[in-house]
């Protein structure tokens, strides 16, 4: 991006021009903006969560926006001291893409990628905001008005209008945009441009209630649009402080940066429209056909592939395919300029198996990572949450419906990269809880990475998927764990002790195919209360009935739970739980 030089002005011509030498992509300005925007979202995340009703009332838009931008802020903070502004914006966008959470976070990551692309090409402030808005809208399969996309469009249009007006004034010789005798470089300063953009986004956010039926019915403004207002307000603060620093410093290009703090943005208009939508409690694991649960599962995954892959073609094909099996489809990313292309995909679906098959086909020349499944109704955990890792795609929906954030580590028909501590940290934060149980997470991934925004992470040994299933079933209606009781105080529940006690009463045996019948007959005793069978895809079709007959013979009062793992092979894991004190 070129420098903005306002040139000389008569003493009575109005406000002082934007100081020469200040550039929107100055690296110190980028760092200050990233810190300030992250701080603003952290501060206001709960307020935004409370008004989140679109596209799903899952009360986490503020948190998702914050977690997404926080990943970018961490990457920018760790970037080399001599990194240029465009390099920092690219670092910010890539980290936000890899760490994006939820529909809103994925859209924000693509908005940031648009900024980075325009900055690399040398665009002005309006160019950056226009490319950001265009990129964000193109990433959404079915864009809706009255959302973050509308706010982004409004900000870009206002920026273009300001710069266009300044250019016309400069051409007439009567505006602040004059760059000198020749008029070269005419245009508005970055401060004027971003101030107009932020104001337009705020106006769009205030109008969102009248554009979407869901918002009108709930009496709230769009949560995503309000998050973008905070991000743009932080940009105004960063540019304003850079402007003040440049105005007071005779050396061109030296910028005084903000310290990542800003006045609290007034979000009162969000909070005066009534109570937030109700949150549905998650229940224990039960076999489920999904018929009454349309679009209730959120699937997110990162796709990597060779850079020569046509980025827009891959993204468009993914959007179209995922749109056939769900809604709220967003696909962002592409060629990152590093020899590898990276995409992040998001969909709400009740056809998880089909959505995972689409992901696997897209990864045929690359790999998947961060394959994340969450039940949209299982939100609002205050004290304890659960992260469950499994290579059994058939169990992902049941584990998610039981309240866990599920990380798939394989079994989907393509390469899935090994979990990292960062992946687990993001999943832990996605539970919305202050304390998190890890089930089935490898020791290396549950290691030393600090899980920001989570006070405690407890890894419970679960050597098989069956252990994880029983652990979640034991928690049952305790999820969301630690919700306030009638007095408003969180319930004092030791989730780890509950799980450890349940697993102590569990015996697990492995068998193959029809041999599972005799294995269950040997394992069941008079004190058996529950028998659980996890069947791989090639197990005999009549096996559930034969297992039920054994249980009816050996322990007539016991319950049989049969779940399909979705893994290839004829493996069977059998678990029996005994009444305390039974022989």
Q: Which residues contact 268 (CB under 8 A, 6 or more apart)?
A: none
| pLDDT at residue number 578 | 83
Higher-scoring residue by pLDDT: 172, 31: 31
Contacts with 554 (C-beta within 8 Å, 6 or more apart), sequence order:
521, 524, 525, 526, 528
Q: Whole-angstrom Cα distance, residue 37 to residue 227?
A: 9
**What is the phi-psi region of residue 302: left when phi exceeds 0, alpha when psi lies from -120 to 50, beta otherwise?**
beta
Closest CA to 579 of 553, 559, 562: 559
Q: Which CATH number fits domain 505-578: 3.30.1330.20, 1.10.20.10, 1.10.10.10, 3.40.1160.10?
A: 3.30.1330.20
Please compute the mean of the pLDDT values over residues 256-263 and round it to a whole number: 32
> What are the backbone angles phi and psi of residue 545, rounded to the nearest 5°?
-65, -40
CA-to-CA dists, residue 429 to 96, 107, 161, 227, angstroms: 15, 19, 40, 18
pLDDT of residue 30: 93
CB 228 within 8 A of CB 151: yes
- Residues 397 and 32: their CA atoms lie apart, in Å, by 41
Q: Is 580 exposed, middle or buried (0-12, 13-18, 19+ CB in 10 A)?
A: exposed
d(CA 341, CA 336): 6
| 450: confidence class by pLDDT, cuts 50, 70, 90 | low
**Measuring CA to CA, how many Å separate 7 from each of 161, 410, 497?**
21, 61, 70
Q: How far apart are CA 462 and CA 469, in angstroms?
A: 9
What is the chain's mean pLDDT, rounded? 78
How would residue 272 be classed by pLDDT, with cut points 50, 70 and 90?
A: very low
CA-CA distance, 9 to 224, in Å (whole number)? 41
Nearest to 114 by CA among 140, 85, 89: 89
CB-CB contact of 348 with 308 (8 Å): no
Given pLDDT bands bounded at 50, 70 and 90, which one contains residue 313?
confident
- pLDDT tens digits for range 163-183: 776 555 544 555 444 333 223
Beta partners for residue 407, in sequence order? 372, 389
Q: Which CATH architecture has domain 27-266?
A: Alpha Horseshoe (1.25)
How far apart are alpha carbons 163 and 535 in whole angstroms?
A: 64
Distances (CA, A) of 118 to 3, 122, 160, 514: 15, 6, 14, 61
Bridge-based pairing state of the strands 506-512 and 384-390: unpaired
Q: What is the pLDDT of residues 484-538, one digit of tens each?
A: 555 555 556 788 888 888 898 899 999 999 999 999 999 998 889 999 999 999 9
pLDDT single digits (tens) 376-410: 876 555 578 899 999 999 999 999 988 899 999 99
DSSP class of residue 369 equals E
27-266 shares its CATH topology with 505-578: no
pLDDT of residue 364: 81
pLDDT per position as a tens digit, 324-354: 999 889 898 876 555 678 889 999 999 999 9
Tokens 């992260």 correspond to 387
Cis peptide before 55 (omega within 30 of 0): yes
More confident position, 325 or 455: 325
Report, in this order, helix, strand and coil percent for the chain, each rounded to 5: 45, 15, 40
- pLDDT at 308 (0 to 100): 65
Tokens of 338: 């590093």
Across 33-45, average pLDDT: 91
Question: pLDDT: is 260 or 575 the higher one?
Answer: 575
Strand partners, 230: none
pLDDT, tens digit, 9 for 90 and up, residues 401-448? 888 999 999 999 889 999 998 899 888 888 878 888 999 998 888 765
Q: Is 419 helix (H, G, I), strand (E, B) or coil?
A: coil
The SS3 assignment for 207 reads: helix
Question: What's the pLDDT band for 310 if we cut at 50, 70, 90?
Answer: low
Per-residue pLDDT for 121 more than 80?
A: yes
Check pLDDT > 50 for residue 259: no
pLDDT bracket for residue 142 (50, 70, 90): confident
pLDDT at site 213:
78
Reading the block at residue 287, the tokens are 């076999």
Domain spans of the chain? 27-266, 297-483, 505-578
């Amino acid at each position: 991006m070129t420098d903005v030089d306002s040139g000389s002005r008569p003493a009575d011509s109005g406000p002082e021009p934007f100081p020469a030498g200040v550039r929107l992509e100055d690296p110190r300005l980028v760092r200050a903006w990233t810190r300030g925007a992250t701080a603003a979202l952290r501060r206001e995340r709960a307020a935004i969560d409370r008004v989140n009703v679109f596209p799903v009332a899952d009360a986490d838009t503020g948190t998702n926006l914050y977690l997404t931008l926080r990943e970018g802020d961490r990457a920018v903070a760790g970037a080399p001291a001599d990194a240029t502004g465009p390099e920092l914006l690219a670092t910010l966008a890539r980290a936000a893409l890899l760490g994006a959470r939820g529909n809103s976070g994925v859209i924000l990551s693509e908005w940031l990628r648009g900024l980075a692309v325009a900055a690399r090409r040398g665009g002005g402030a309006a160019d950056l905001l226009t490319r950001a808005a265009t990129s964000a809208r193109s990433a959404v399969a079915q864009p809706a008005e009255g959302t973050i996309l509308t706010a982004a469009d409004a900000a870009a249009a206002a920026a273009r209008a300001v710069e266009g007006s300044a250019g016309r004034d400069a051409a007439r010789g009567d505006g602040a945009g004059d760059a000198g005798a020749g008029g070269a470089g005419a245009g508005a300063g970055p401060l004027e441009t971003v101030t107009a953009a932020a104001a337009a986004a705020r106006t769009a956010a205030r109008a969102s209630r009248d554009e979407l039926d869901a918002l009108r019915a709930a009496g709230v403004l769009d949560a995503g649009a309000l998050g973008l207002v905070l991000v743009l307000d932080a940009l105004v603060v960063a540019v304003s402080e850079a402007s003040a620093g440049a105005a007071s410093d005779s050396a061109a290009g030296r910028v005084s940066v903000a310290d990542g703090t800003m006045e609290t943005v007034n979000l009162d208009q969000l909070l005066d429209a009534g109570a937030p939508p109700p949150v549905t409690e998650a229940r224990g694991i039960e076999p489920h056909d999904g018929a009454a649960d349309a679009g209730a599962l959120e699937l997110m995954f990162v796709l990597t592939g060779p850079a020569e892959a046509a980025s827009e073609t891959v993204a468009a094909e993914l959007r179209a395919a995922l749109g056939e099996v769900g809604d709220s489809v967003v696909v962002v990313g592409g060629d990152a300029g590093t020899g590898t292309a990276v995409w992040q995909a998001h969909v709400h679906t009740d056809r998880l198996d089909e959505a995972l098959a689409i992901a696997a086909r897209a990864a045929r020349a690359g790999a998947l990572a961060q394959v994340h499944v969450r039940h949209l109704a299982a939100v609002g955990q205050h004290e304890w949450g659960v992260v469950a890792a499994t290579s059994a795609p058939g169990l992902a929906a049941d584990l998610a419906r039981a309240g866990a954030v599920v990380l798939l580590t394989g079994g989907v028909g393509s390469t899935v990269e090994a979990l990292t501590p960062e992946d687990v940290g993001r999943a832990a934060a996605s539970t919305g809880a202050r304390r998190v149980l890890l089930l089935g997470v490898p020791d290396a991934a549950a290691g030393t990475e600090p899980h920001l925004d989570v006070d405690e992470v407890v890894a419970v040994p679960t050597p098989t998927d069956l252990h994880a299933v029983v652990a979640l079933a034991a928690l049952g209606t305790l999820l969301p764990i630690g919700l306030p009781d009638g007095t408003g105080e969180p319930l004092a529940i030791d989730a780890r002790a509950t799980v450890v006690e349940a697993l102590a009463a569990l015996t697990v045996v492995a068998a193959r195919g029809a041999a599972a019948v005799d294995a269950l007959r040997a394992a069941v005793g008079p004190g058996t209360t529950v028998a659980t069978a996890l069947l791989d895809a090639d197990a005999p079709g009549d096996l559930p009935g034969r297992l039920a007959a054994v249980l009816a013979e050996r322990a007539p009062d016991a319950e049989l739970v049969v779940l399909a793992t979705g893994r290839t092979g004829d493996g069977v894991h059998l678990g029996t739980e005994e009444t305390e004190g039974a022989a």
